[in-house]
């Protein structure tokens, strides 16, 4: 088995739309930019997203989009709006968008560990 040389990619999120940033980051994390891409191998690169506090959301997503989490107990559905999550940590919004664009298999958790998001956290 050959050693995978992982590159470092930096994405500047200032003034860009969230979905476009997430799509670009997911492409690098999966390794689809490489000529020897194979879907069953984790050959992706490291991705750093900077200026996440300046990312744009189109339409009324900041107020209307919700994140859902269920604890497993009856009646314990936790709902957070994107606005509240963005105020606390803008990098978390980017991370969740990228996580949703990665394939739902055993490699997804390994891929997302190579993503780092930085912004002015409040």
For the chain, 122 residues long, give each residue's pLDDT as a single digit of tens.
678 899 999 999 999 999 999 999 999 999 999 999 999 999 999 999 999 999 999 999 999 999 999 999 999 999 999 999 999 999 999 999 999 999 999 999 999 999 999 998 65
CATH topology of domain 8-56+89-117: Ribosomal Protein L13p; Chain: A; (3.90.1180)
Please check whether residue 29 is in contact with residue 111, taking contact to mean a CB–CB distance below 8 angstroms: yes
Where exactly are the structural domains of the chain?
8-56+89-117
Closest-CA residue to 36 (of 76, 69, 5): 5
Closest-CA residue to 82 (of 61, 101, 100): 61
Q: According to the 3-state scheme, what is the secondary structure of 18-67? A: HHHHHHHHHHHHHCCCCCCCCCCCCCCCEEEEECHHHCECCCCHHHHCEE
- The tokens for 70 are 């269920």
pTM: 0.92
């Amino acid at each position: 088995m050959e050693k995978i040389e992982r590159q470092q990619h930096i994405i500047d999120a200032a003034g860009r739309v969230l979905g476009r940033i997430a799509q670009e980051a997911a492409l690098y994390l999966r390794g689809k930019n490489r000529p020897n891409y194979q879907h069953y191998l984790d050959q992706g690169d490291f991705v750093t997203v900077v200026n996440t506090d300046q990312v744009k959301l189109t339409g009324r997503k900041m107020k209307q989009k919700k994140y859902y989490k269920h604890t497993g107990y009856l009646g314990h559905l936790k709902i957070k709006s994107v606005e509240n999550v963005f105020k606390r940590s803008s990098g978390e919004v980017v991370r969740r968008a990228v996580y949703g664009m990665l394939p739902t298999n055993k490699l997804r958790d390994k891929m997302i560990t190579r993503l780092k998001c930085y912004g002015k956290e409040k």
